[in-house]
Amino acid sequence: MKDYYIKDLTDRIGEEVEMLGWAYRKRRHGKLVFIVIRDSTGIIQASVKRENVDEESFEEAKTCDIEASVYVKGELKEDSRAPGGLELSCKEFKIVSPSPDFPIQEDTGPEVLLDIRHMTLRSIDSRMAMRAKMGVIQGARDFFEKKGFTEVYAPIFVGVAGEGGGTLFSLDYFGRKAYLSQTAQLHLEAAIFQFENVYSLTPSFRAEKSRTRRHLTEFYHLEAEMAWCEEDENERIEEELVTHICNFVGERYAEELRHFGQDPKYYLDMEPKFERITYDEAISILQSKGVGIEFGSDFGFEEEKVLTEDFEHPFFVKNFPKGIKSFYMKQKGDRAVCADLEAPGGYGEIIGGSQREDDLNLLVERLLREGEKLENYEWYLDLRRYGSVPHSGFGLGIERLLRWILKLEHIRDCCLFPRTPARIYP
């Protein structure tokens, strides 16, 4: 590993330094070659002047391709004209390994860029987005640790659907049918009887046929489940979590935010008190904006886009009709005891949460009505047979939250290797 990285060079102005990295950009003016070098922490301009280096170094600099790995040695100077304000005046320049015909050009189209994602992930956008993603996850873990939650690890191979059969990926499990988990929720519900307040971060898989800018087939799902917890407290935890993550990213990932044109102050100043509207109010807002939606329909991408466009902060939508929500949610009259958290500015849902049904008979009734085989859910029903408690929980899509924080065009830009219906390579 390297002893120091490009970000560490600001302390070493005037010294002779060595650096390893990749050629990011190159310009040549006669006997002077400028090569911008990239590493995992930033970029620095290296100037290779014929009179300062031996012939071999100058030849290598001249012929160096974009994305070749390189070694440079030279004196570090301040230079306001150079990107980042520093310039390395080279005494030695070596190509570690060449990169002939690097496949990305200025005019490479978006589909091709995805075909060669293993190459495009070298871009600065990609570094900034992936680092901010790490920040979101660090902020989340920090929150749950401070709240005294236990992190648990739920299985990915599962025997029953957690979120409806329509988006299940099935597979052959030694001759039996199994699925890739859509949610850890049911297993987290079992875990609260031991740990009371738990969370998990696992990939969830959904065979989403609708291709939207906010659906992946594989995403990172942050889920929490709390015993002795009803809807109000569930929402409070959610708003505190999202606020904590935003504060955390605003503080530690300001450079990444600024890179995408976002003001860290918005995230630093966020306060854990989000507006709440009802499903009925949401329908009225949509109808008043000319969206042809009737009471009883769920919101899709288009509806959430319009619904959220005039809000400045995340907000909850509560009291959905029970018919459009899952069997495991507690019900009051014709409503499910649930709330979705919507990101403002057209971004839409980032969390789905609810109080869970803790009554055995009501749960059995609903499963039968939905045509499910009870035998598949016996273990889940046991949770209501042995010491059932009021409990609530939620699931947050990490890439959904990140997309909103960075204001990225497409959710696939939130993934190192995005998985969508059309894409499983590379």
Where on the chain is the footprint of ligand ATP (CB under 6 A)?
163, 206, 208, 215-216, 219, 221, 349-352, 395-397, 399-400
CA distance 317 to 277: 5
Residue closer to ligand ATP by CB (options 87, 225) is: 225
User: Least distance (Å) from ligand ATP to the CB of residue 183?
Assistant: 6
User: Least distance (Å) from ligand ATP to the CB of residue 359?
Assistant: 22
CA distance 393 to 404: 22
User: Least distance (Å) from ligand ATP to the CB of residue 104?
Assistant: 27
CA distance 322 to 13: 65
- At 224, is the secondary structure helix, strand, or coil? strand
Residue whose CB is nearest to ligand ATP in the complex, by number: 352
DSSP letter, residue 160: S
Q: 179: alpha, beta or left, given left = phi > 0 and alpha = psi -120 to 50?
A: beta
User: Least distance (Å) from ligand ATP to the CB of residue 40?
Assistant: 27
Residue closer to ligand ATP by CB (options 208, 280) is: 208
Residue type, position 119, single letter: M
Residue closer to ligand ATP by CB (options 39, 399) is: 399
CA distances for 185 relative to 73, 224, 243, 319, 353, angstroms? 54, 8, 22, 20, 10
User: Least distance (Å) from ligand ATP to the CB of residue 406?
Assistant: 15
**Does residue 314 have a cis peptide bond before it, meaning omega lies within 30 degrees of 0?**
no
User: Least distance (Å) from ligand ATP to the CB of residue 12?
Assistant: 43
CA distance 186 to 338: 16
- The dihedral built from the CA positions of residue 38, 40, 43 and 47, taken in this order, carries a sign that is negative
Residue closer to ligand ATP by CB (options 307, 396) is: 396
Residue the block writes with tokens 């899952």:
326
Residue closer to ligand ATP by CB (options 168, 216) is: 216
Residue closer to ligand ATP by CB (options 60, 357) is: 357
